Amino acid sequence: MTSSLSLKQKTLGLLGAAAVFVSFTTTPAQAAEQFSADQKTEIEQMFKDYIMNNGEVVIEAVDAFRQKEEVAEQEKMAETIQSKMSVLASADAPSAGNPKGDVTIIEFLDYNCGYCKKAWPDINTVLETDKNVHFIFREMPILGESSKVAAQWALAAQKQDKYFEFHSALMKFKGAKNEKTMLDISKKLGLDTDKMKKDANSKAIKKQLDADIALARSLGVSGTPAFIIGGEFYPGYLGKEGFKDAIKKARDKKDG
């Protein structure tokens, strides 16, 4: 029977040999060629035994790797956002709140998105309680043709300085989003319905919508809602506390 000491020595010896051979070879295949069939089998078994008996170490390694990847992705996203901030926060984009606010929030949204609708009261609360926030809306209609119809009409309302009102009405609206319902909302808001219909179906609006979608894709935004707060990306629903924390983080970063 092999003693624990000799087993330890053998393990260290084989792993040390493996490390030496790997360090002097260019590929794992080349490294593997340095060992006999019996040595390969023994090394493989040692690794399997170690993994089976030390599962928490493997989990920790996977978690550490995942965290490292997430940090790298966040840093890459932050760089991309910074490079496109002039476009993201352009003056011609639909917005609300204080244009000179110290924190800018950009939302990518879809009017058929349940979580976008869920986020709307929270966004309204931020706008009502924090007068130093600038909110910018970017259309990202990814949930069907009716999403595009709603987005086009919302952008048409911007041409009559009623984007925010139309946007609010759509976020509260339950039902089919077609031309008839868009006209009904326009009438209730006192908009010029003939102009709304013409603008909503214009090449200019469709071009603007395509630009928003292309902008989202260039950032790697894959779903709605998605927020950029103080230059940092926040995918998904945040909730009231999430908004507060993100806004505070953005301000702390500025002060720091």
State residue 82's pLDDT score.
87
Handedness of CA 132, 138, 144, 146 (dihedral sign): positive
Convert the pLDDT of each residue in 231-246 to its tens digit: 999 999 999 999 999 9
Whole-number Å distance between alpha carbons of 221 and 204: 23
Convert the pLDDT of each residue in 201-217 to its tens digit: 999 999 999 999 999 99
Confidence band of 248 (pLDDT split at 50, 70, 90): very high
Tokens of 137: 């809306």
226-229/103-109 β-pairing:
antiparallel
Whole-structure pTM value: 0.72
The mean pLDDT of 189-209, rounded to a whole number, is 96
Could you give the 3-state DSSP secondary structure of residue 133? strand
State residue 4's pLDDT score.
43
Provide the mean pLDDT of the chain: 85
The mean pLDDT of 191-205, rounded to a whole number, is 97
Is the CB of residue 163 less than 8 Å from the CB of residue 155?
yes
Question: 189: which DSSP letter?
Answer: T
Which residues does 82 contact at the CB level (< 8 Å), separation at least 6?
A: 231
- DSSP for 41-96 reads HHHHHHHHHHHHH-HHHHHHHHHHHHHHHHHHHHHHHHHHHHHHHHHHT-TTS-EE
Instruction: Identify any residues that bridge with 103 across adjacent strands, giving them in sequence order.
Output: 133
Confidence band of 85 (pLDDT split at 50, 70, 90): confident
The CATH superfamily assigned to 80-255 is Glutaredoxin (3.40.30.10)
State residue 28's pLDDT score.
54
Tokens of 203: 């090449």
| 116 against 19, higher pLDDT | 116
Out of 40-49, 93-102, 181-190, pick the least confident: 40-49
Beta-carbon-side half-sphere exposure of residue 22 (alpha carbons within 13 Å): 7
The C-alpha angle with vertex 137 and arms to 135 and 140, in degrees rounded to 5, equals 150
The mean pLDDT of 78-88, rounded to a whole number, is 86
Convert the pLDDT of each residue in 28-63 to its tens digit: 555 556 677 877 788 788 877 777 777 676 677 777
Domain spans in the chain, listed from the N-terminal domain onward: 4-53, 80-255
Convert the pLDDT of each residue in 104-154 to its tens digit: 999 999 999 999 999 999 999 999 999 999 999 999 999 999 999 999 999
State residue 74's pLDDT score.
66
